[in-house]
Amino acid sequence: MFNDTATPLSLLATRRSGKPRDLAAPGPTDAQLVEMILIAGRTPDHGKLAPWRFAIVGEDRRDALAALLVDAYRAERPEAKRVELEAMEQFARQAPALVVALSSPRTDSHIPLWEQELSVGAATMNLCHAAHAMGFAAGWLTGWPAFSDTVRDAFGTAPERIAGFVFIGTPSRALEERPRPDPARLVSRW
133 neighbors 6 (Cβ within 8 angstroms) = yes
Whole-model pTM: value is: 0.93
Q: Is residue 6 part of a domain?
A: no
pLDDT at 49: 97
CATH of the domain at 29: 3.40.109.10
Q: Is residue 153 part of a domain?
A: yes
pLDDT at 183: 87
- Give the number of domains in the chain: 1
110 neighbors 66 (Cβ within 8 angstroms) = no
Which residues are registered as beta bridge partners of 164?
A: 101
Q: Is residue 125 part of a domain?
A: yes
Is the sign of the CA dihedral 18, 70, 143, 49 positive or negative? negative
Q: Is residue 40 part of a domain?
A: yes
Q: Tell me if residue 40 falls in helix, strand or coil.
A: helix
Q: Is residue 64 part of a domain?
A: no
Q: Is residue 135 part of a domain?
A: yes
Classify residue 84 by burial, with Cβ atoms within 10 Å: 0-12, 13-18, 19+: middle
Instruction: Supply the range of the domain harboring residue 145.
Output: 15-56+96-173
CA distance 120 to 51: 7
Provide the b/e sequence for 43-52 (b: ≥16 CB within 10 Å): bebeeebebb
Q: Is residue 46 part of a domain?
A: yes
Alpha carbons within 13 angstroms on the beta-carbon side of residue 140 total 21
76 neighbors 84 (Cβ within 8 angstroms) = no
CA distance 162 to 104: 9
pLDDT at 1: 45
34 neighbors 152 (Cβ within 8 angstroms) = no
Q: Is residue 109 part of a domain?
A: yes
pLDDT in single tens digits along all 190 residues of the chain: 455 567 888 888 889 999 999 999 999 999 999 999 999 999 999 999 999 999 999 999 999 999 999 999 999 999 999 999 999 999 999 999 999 999 999 999 999 999 999 999 999 999 999 999 999 999 999 999 999 999 999 999 999 999 999 999 999 999 988 888 998 899 988 9
